[in-house]
């Protein structure tokens, strides 16, 4: 890394991450011989740089000193360094993308459209901050941009780099989109889980910052009385733990895991539409590893919701 940003780069490199977007692109770029296309590795690196840049800037927007239990770039180096460091990561991403797209001159619109959707999703989330009337449809619209669009781009790009025809590449992209929706819903569920070591997020960050997610949306639909108490948490977190307990007691967390389970099933079904056997199985392994032990949570929540509805 260039000297002015070397410390920032080392700080980011030391922080653990799953690299899910890169892993998905590489899985989608697998050939019948198990090898990946030559441009797939730099493309995967570009996506991770893009993701890191958005995280660095997110922490500036949220004024967050920590990210997943570790100091954020802003917390470690200050606001100005974080803004410039995020800008630098964007530049490095675009440099890699430009080199790749020189061989795919008609594909620039795909990349720019995906990036635009991510930015619009982030803007919409900011616009809807602290809006207790958001509703599930509004939430899904937000995450379809800010999270799912980048996973869709990863899967679609991997298929294109592997030489897949457009119809097949779009099926890959659809899987990426569904996985992105699943991933974000799961992540938002973890914000309400008791085991913070699993979530590894700043303590109850979403609710304290006024980000309205499915557990709260479902709980408010069942218990409108929570609205007043929840609204006070946005300005004074003194009642935060009480609201969290009420959300769980109202079934908000259970219903949210059930929502995640629906997206999990949709993603699994979408994999069946991908014709290449080796690639399909690599993507299936990616899905299984990314979801991990949460499969049981989703299944239990869905079953509990069915039993509750039958009573």
Question: What are the chain's domains?
Answer: 19-310 (1.10.600.10)
For 230-285, what is each residue's pLDDT tens digit?
999 988 888 888 999 999 999 999 999 999 999 999 999 999 999 878 899 999 99
Q: pTM for the full model? A: 0.91
Judge whether 129 and 142 are in contact, CB under 8 Å.
Answer: no
Size of the chain in residues? 311
Percent of the chain beyond pLDDT 90? Answer: 68
d(CA 245, CA 273) in angstroms, rounded, equals: 41
d(CA 118, CA 35) in angstroms, rounded, equals: 30
Contacts of 182 (CB under 8 A, 6+ apart): 260, 263, 264, 266, 267, 291
For 138-182, what is each residue's pLDDT tens digit?
999 999 999 999 999 999 999 999 999 999 999 999 999 999 999
Q: Is the dihedral of CA 286, 289, 294, 298 positive or negative?
A: positive
């Amino acid at each position: 890394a260039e000297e002015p940003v070397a410390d920032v780069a080392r700080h980011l490199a030391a922080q653990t991450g799953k690299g899910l977007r890169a892993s998905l692109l590489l899985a989608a770029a697998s050939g019948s011989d198990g090898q990946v296309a030559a441009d797939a590795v730099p493309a995967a690196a570009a996506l991770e740089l893009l993701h890191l840049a958005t995280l660095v800037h997110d922490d500036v927007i949220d004024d967050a000193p920590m990210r997943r239990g570790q100091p954020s770039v802003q917390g470690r180096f200050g606001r100005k360094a974080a803004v410039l460091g995020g800008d630098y990561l964007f530049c490095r991403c675009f440099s890699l993308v430009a080199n790749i797209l020189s061989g795919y001159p008609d594909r620039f619109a795909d990349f720019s459209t995906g990036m635009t959707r991510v930015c619009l999703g982030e803007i919409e989330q900011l616009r809807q901050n602290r809006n207790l009337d958001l509703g599930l449809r509004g939430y899904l619209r937000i995450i379809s941009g800010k999270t799912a669009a980048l996973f869709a781009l990863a899967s679609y790009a991997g298929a294109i780099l592997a030489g897949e025809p457009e119809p097949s590449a779009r099926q890959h992209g659809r899987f990426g989109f569904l996985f992105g929706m699943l991933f974000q819903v799961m992540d938002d569920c973890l914000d309400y889980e008791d085991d913070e070591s699993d979530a590894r997020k700043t303590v109850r960050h979403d609710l304290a910052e006024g980000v309205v997610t499915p557990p709260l949306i479902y709980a408010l639909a069942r218990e409108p009385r929570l609205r007043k108490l929840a609204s006070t948490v946005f300005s004074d977190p003194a009642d935060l733990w009480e609201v969290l307990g009420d959300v769980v007691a109202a079934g908000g967390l259970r219903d949210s895991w059930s929502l995640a389970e629906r997206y999990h099933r949709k993603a699994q079904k979408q994999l069946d539409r991908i014709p290449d056997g080796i690639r399909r199985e690599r993507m299936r392994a990616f899905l299984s590893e990314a979801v991990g032990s949460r499969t049981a949570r989703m299944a239990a929540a869905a079953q509990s919701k069915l039993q509750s509805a039958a009573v």
